Every structure is written in structure tokens, then in C-alpha cells.
Chains A and B, each alone.
Chain A
């Protein structure tokens, strides 16, 4: 019997398992698929502080950013603190950007229009300026999740982190009210606590325990180009992104984040749309991403897109993740609903979760992330 069962071997589950093992807990990670086969394998690896409004998510992001740096030293995965450059198309947007940067209290530098090309030589002409965020980083999320699980298993205790792949959670084992384990496609697994880290499916897993979590899918497409010699130095995106992230709109929103990867490809992402789990490729969405990338970097016009993929962000109505114990089902904890920031926010989430599981004082106030903050589902 483990101290903790983590449901989900995505980036968030991997971080929860890693920090729990590091805190001395015996952990079993259960996933119905492989490691990183969910949204972690269908998104990007932006670790951003630049795009967050001041508030609890930014706090979480700043903590996570620090933790990412130390994890990157221990783990064997790509982590590039390359910095993010947010650019403004108009003077008005530039003023708003600079205003936001001031409120965030995050390390940044205001970039005048005339200095943009020193930072990014291929940027389009006519932009009004931008803000550079040196802390923004890039991680290869799939490998990071896999390496954290490996590191947790290898470094802490003796087989204290077990991985059970291809095992679907179908229900919970209860002792009275208390959650004491999970029912799975391969029998019951007992544990002192269960962490629901099942991402976009977090609501479904919570429902198995009879509790309501309003997590919905928000679709995103990404374009990948042919490999090129390095051309783009930072993560570059337009300020429109900042307004999209916090948007409640169900309709299509795109504002391309453009960057070169270590493999030489340029990643262009991502759209945001609430269309359920619709997997149909949308040509208009791809066209818009391409148009925005070309508008930022005209030299991309003749570069070929060779792939595209999509994923479903785990999205909560208030755009905050769900982190912490669920008073409605004692013994059940949640770590899901991170929308478009689950990679960036994973280490802080795992770190907080380990503190909550061991009864240590949390580094951050977990109140804003509590699972019972939503109105109950109308019957």
C-alpha cells in the first residue's frame, strides 16, 4: 500500500509524484495510457511568467519558474531559459503592456520599437515596441515528465515511486466517507491519499468520487515547420495573447506564439477554442496561425509547415487550477485544471501538493485553488 496514489502521468502528475517521493512518501502513479500521453504530449512547453495577470496564478508561476531552474539541473531534459518577448502592434497596446508589466512585479525590460530588431532581427517592421521577460523559458514537457518520474523513483527511497501504466481508474475505494484507494481496470490499489492529476479528464475522475469539478476542454492547434537554422531567439508573441488567456469566449482566438526549438523547427501556437473534444482539423484555424506568424516574421512566408497537432487544455471557468484536498471526499486531493499553463505550473503544483500531503506549511496560500470553490452543478 502506498502513501499516495497519483492518477495521471502527465506533467502535473509527474511533478506531484516527484515532490511527494522527495518528501518521503511512498507513491504509485497510475495512468490509463503511457507517460505524457495526455495533454502533456499535445501542447507546447512554454514556462511563462509574462502572460499572467497579478494574482494567485502569477504567484504560482513565479514559484514554479524558480523550481523549474533547479529541476533542470537535476534532470536530463531540454530546458532553455530563453526569455519571452511580447510585442505590441500599436502604441496603445504598448502602453497597456508596459502598464501590465509594472503591475506584475516580474523582472522585465521595456523595449522600444527601434530596439526590437536588436533582440529579434527577423521581426516585422512597424511594431510599436514590446516587453522582454528574461524569466520565460522553454521545456520539452514529455521528456521532463518522464525524467521527473524516473528521478523520483531513482533518488528517493527504494522503489518509493511506482509507475502503473495502461491501468484505468474506474472508481474509488471508500472506507466510510474516506477515499482509501482507487478501483482500476486491473484491480483495486489502496493508498493513504489519492491525487487526481488527470488533467482535462479531472472532472470525470472527480465524478467517480461523487464530487463536481467543472473542468472543460479548450482546443488548441499548433503548427510545426521544417527544421531551419536558428532564426528566432526568444519566445515571441503579440500582446493579444495576454488578453486571450483570460478570455471566457467560446469562440476561436488565436495569437501566435512563435519560437525556434532545439530540433530546428519553428513552433507556432496556439489557438483557443471551446468545441468539446472535436478532433477535426480546422483549416481556417491553421490558416490564421500561419498568417499571424508571417505577420510577426515575414521571413517565415516561404518556410514550410510540415506538421500540425492539437490538444485539449483542461479549463476551469475562473481560469485557475484546482489544487488541494477536497473536503467533500476526505483523502482525495486534486491537481488539475491548469488550462494552457499546466507545464509551467507543474513544479509549483507538485511542491504545494507535497506540502499539503505531509502537513507542512505551504509556501503559497492554496485557498484560491481550492476544489470546492465552484457552485455545485445544478441537478
Chain B
């Protein structure tokens, strides 16, 4: 037996993390799951307390909540805990957290599953920093939280399959959605790929919702500027070509703009552990995993968006595959150590242990996810929408002109642009501006380095090596 309190520690309580944790827990492993949110759900199943207490809403959410309850009975849930760092330690993994009351807590386990999801990919344009301009994920969060959008005149723009749920959500919340402007080539709503993403019912529902609210869905269009004095008042909508160069423009009055340009997988915990990365179909760095969702670092698995953006169903399937694989490896290592102690020869680690049907589903969904990424590329023409004073980095208030100045001074890559002009040095550590800065530097985005993945008070950090809360206790 491993000398750890937990056989598996999962970071992330979205569809991938919950599926992985539950699968492993059902196989008898001692599991801990850590998430910074107060409730399980992740990006897609973010829900209010009311929804949790009164099931009977959307069937998918009900299903997720059921699995969440099953997990709560079988595993240690550490909600409201932010993971600020992970490290290897004594043959296992140490997951360094900050508790809701800002105390340090280290959770130790023999294995780690990284299921940290993704964040919005942000493409800046003049005015994107005005109040009233939201990211797709931000709009979603607002919708699933309080729903203060009723009566707003809203425009949805950007590219990718997830503009539809955002538009449908806004319309459903009582906003007047003026249009959805999709930058990609027109497939038309009827052949929209989100229809194929999962159950036709869900996607058709979005399409129907848009039709019911008479929301036009226009392709090869983009919002290239937002205007307003202190808050959003109007946007410039352009017809664009395949390279996203502006063909012609008009102004549309609105007070809410939701912009989505896809997602950036959140892989910094894996990067810190030295996990191998690769560029996904859309160029995003993602963690390399094998058929069993194992990363290149022994003892570390990854599932969901960190291995490639593909929607909640793929995330969940990957989580289950990882859970099976972790359980198989746990069994194999337990057997091996039993044999070792009885003098029998050790066997090599277990297979992936996941049902074939699950693997086949994953294969199909992954291929589709990649096709989607190719169908909704971000084309370089957006750089032509920028003005000298357009902010690239909001945290440090770095405009385009300062990025260009840094380049003139000899910054030849994104890192040196950051060193000379400070984009990415603030609160979000480049989560917001990183993509844009890479593009401006003319390079593919590189794996993010964030040794402190989440802020931690110096007081908590000072005590993070001496806290005794979940010690590396020998087995009972």
C-alpha cells in the first residue's frame, strides 16, 4: 500500500474531475477532490444553491448533481480550496491549497488527476475593456449566477460553437439579443456543429431558442470595436473576409456584448510538474496524454479541457477513462507490493482498465472536437482592428503601442515583451492577455509558467511548509 492518505487527488470539480474522482472512488480508492468554487460543477454545470437543493431542472444538471452527491459520500471534497501549487514529494504528489479562510493546506496523494478546465481566450479590440463587454464564459457565469441581464440590448460575437448557448442563455434570461455575429464561414444554423456535439435535443434547443426569440445568426461578421462613454453604448460590426480583414462596417447600438473566441486550457499545474505539452489543433498548448489519460509524468493524469477543448461530454468521458486507469494502476501497484513483500516477482503496471465502449466514444468525440477547432479558427486579421491605444493587458494597462515599442527595442518573443512592457505581470498572470501577446509576437502560444497558480497571502505561504493538517500518514 502507498503511504499516502489518498490514493488519488483530483484538482477540478467540473465534469472531468467529478467523473474521474467518482470512477476511482467507486473502485475503492481513497479520493480527495479540490475545487476553488463553493460547489461542484465547473464551467458547464455551474449552478446556484437553489438548483442544488431543488433538483428537477435540466436533466443533464440533475444527472451531474446525482454524481456529485455520490462522490460526496465516497470521497473528501475540498470545495472553496484554491490550488496554488503542486509538487512531487516522497514518491507522491503534494497539492498545495489555500482554504476558504486563507489557511495553507497540503493534500498529499499517491496520484494526481489534473482536471482544471479552461479559461476564455481573449482577442482584444478597441473598447473591449468597457463595462458591458463580457467574455462568453463571463456571460455564462452571470447567467448561472444571478441573471441580471433582463431587458439588456445584447450582441453576441466572436467565433466557435459556444456562442449559441450564450445567445440562447441571454435570450432566455430576458435580454433582447440583437444578433449573433460568427466570424467563421457560414454553415448556417441548421448545420451548426453544436448539433453534433451531443444529444441533438440540447443543440436543437439552442437553435429553437434563437428562432423563437428571432435572433439573427450571421456569419463572416465580427464586432471590431466597442464604443461608449464609461460604459458600452454601441459596437462597430464589420463584414470580414476569411483572414478577418474588414470589408465594410456599420454601427449597432447595444449595452451588452458577449464575445467568445474559444478557450485556453488551464495547464499550469501540469507544466510545473514537468508534464509534456503539445499544440492542439487550434494551437493551444495542452498536456500530452496517452490512451489512459496518463501524462508524461508518472503518477499524473489529466482529463477534460487541459488535454484539449472539446465540450463537457468529452471532458466527462476522459475523466471516467482516467478514473478507470488510476484504479487499474492502483490495483497493480498494490498487487506488486504484496508480491514484493512475499518475494514473488513484480508485474509491470496495469493497463488502462477502461471499458472499450468508453474508449470508442472518446475517440469519436475527440475527432469531432478537433474538427470543430479547425472549423472556428481565430484568423490573424484581428490585429488590424487594433489601435495604438487599445489595451492588450488590462491588469497592467498596457496598450498596443507599448507592446510595439518593446518589439522595437529588441523583444523578439512573448516573454521578452512581458519583461519590457509588463503585459501578463498582473493579477491574471497573462490568462487574459497571453494569447494576444503571443500573436503580436508572431509565435504560437507557449505553455504558461505560473508557479503560483492562485494568489496566496504571504502569511499563508509562510506557513505552508509547517501546517500539519493532512499529514503524509502511513496507512492505518
Interface residues, chain A, with chain B CB atoms under 8 Å away: 9, 33-37, 41, 142-143, 146-147, 149-150, 163, 165-166, 223-227, 263, 268, 280-281, 283-284, 286-288, 290-291, 293-294, 300-309
Contacts and interface: CB of A to CB of B under 8 A. Distances in A.
B412 A306 contact: no
Nearest to B106: A283
Interface residues of B, number: 38
A287 B419 CA distance: 25
Given A281-B451, A294-B459, 8 more contacts: A34-B416, A35-B411, A36-B419, A36-B420, A281-B85, A300-B459, A301-B459, A304-B458
Contacts of B464: 283, 286-287
B458 A293 contact: yes
- The residue in B85, B450, B455, B466 that gathers the most chain A C-beta atoms within 10 A of its C-beta is B455
Contacts of B426: 227, 306
Nearest to A284: B465
B461 interface: yes
B57 interface: no
A283 B458 contact: no
B459 A34 contact: no
Interface string B400-434: 00000010011111011001101001110100000
A37 B87 CA distance: 26
A287 B465 CA distance: 7
A226 B427 contact: yes
A35 B466 CA distance: 40
B85 A165 contact: no
B462 A290 contact: yes
Interface in B210-244: none
Contacts of B461: 223, 286-287, 290, 305
Interface in B421-476: 422, 425-427, 429, 449-452, 455-459, 461-466
B76 interface: no
B409 A150 contact: yes
Contacts of A286: 451-452, 461, 464
B272 interface: yes
A227 B455 CA distance: 12
Interface string B81-103: 00001010000001010000010
B370 interface: no
B459 A146 contact: no
A306 B409 contact: no
Given A35-B411, A294-B458, A307-B429, A283 B416 contact: no
A36 B417 CA distance: 10
Given A9-B410, A283-B96, A142 B463 contact: no
Nearest to A298: B459
17 contacts: A34-B412, A35-B412, A35-B416, A146-B409, A146-B410, A224-B425, A227-B426, A263-B425, A280-B274, A283-B94, A287-B465, A287-B466, A290-B459, A302-B457, A304-B456, A305-B456, A307-B452
Cβ-closest 5 pairs across A and B: A35-B410, A34-B416, A301-B459, A291-B462, A290-B461
Contacts of A36: 410, 416, 419-420
Contacts of B457: 301-305
